[in-house]
Amino acid sequence: MKNFQFILILILFTSCTDRTDFKDIGKATLEAIIKNDTVELKKLFSDNMDNLDEDTKKELFSEILNYKDKNYSIIKSDTTSNEVTSLVFSQINTYFSIDRNIYLLCTDYDKDDKGIISIENIYISNLTEKCNEWKTNPYCPKFDITIKSLTWRMDYLNKTIKSGKVTLENQTDYDINFIKFRVILKYNNQIFFNQTTVYESKIYAGDITTIDVSGMQDLYTGFTLSNNKFQFDAILIEVKPKPKSAECLKLLELR
């Protein structure tokens, strides 16, 4: 009986991670990553990572090598909804610092009927880097500002474009008051027009508007245009105002 009690006490004291405590799980996951201890990391996953395909595991093990033996400090752990990654899974968010950078270790997790937490997947994001990129780069929501079509008027000889307009839709959740885009025209796969247009007027969220293309007024081409050889492309460059960055807001909260 004494031997059994000794073994039981030893197991309790050597098992450092409380598998029902999300903070302990986040801490243990980060420690395994820093130590590059894939054996311990696998133990925290559902089915010892057997639910992940080999390519996913290979990519994960390659990613965590970037953090091997780094000096780190845990700032905070929570399970709040994560506006940074916009995922719908239950998550443990562990915020930590290395040097001057603040990172987010986000782990999708599941709980069994006994409250035991198992990790499903891991994501690591450098919040400092993403915030700096947001501040430096122009805002360009290519999937939310849709340039739908180009229309133009020709002279009677079909050699001069009298005017051109693009139709675009603001599919963002807010009004914009500045948009910059480039229009490229090709004929027989040869570029004959390449110019930037700036439009500074309010476009309400959800609205569709038409904008005159700069430089397409009385544009003489020197050749007869036919629709089957005419090609149009539009590239979004910048939109204002720039919305607040989730990463930058989180950094302010953590400091």
* pLDDT tens digits along 58-85: 888 888 899 999 999 999 998 865 455 4
Q: What is the pLDDT of residues 11-56, one digit of tens each?
A: 343 456 788 888 999 999 999 999 999 899 988 988 888 878 888 8
Averaged confidence pLDDT in the chain? 87
Give the residue-averaged pLDDT of 113-138.
92
pLDDT digits (tens, 9 = 90+) for 187-204: 888 999 999 999 999 999
**Average pLDDT in the 128-148 region?**
95
More confidently predicted of 6 and 78: 78
CATH 2.60.40.10 fits 145-240, yes or no: yes
- Per-domain boundaries in the chain: 2-136, 145-240
Rounded to an integer, the average pLDDT of 226-240 is 87
- Percentage of residues of the chain with pLDDT beyond 90: 57
Q: What is the pLDDT of residue 127?
A: 97
pLDDT of 86 over the 60 cut: no
CATH topology of domain 2-136: Nuclear Transport Factor 2; Chain: A, (3.10.450)
Residue 5 confidence (pLDDT) above 50: no
How much is the pTM? Answer: 0.75
Distances (CA, A) of 66 to 19, 121, 122: 26, 17, 14
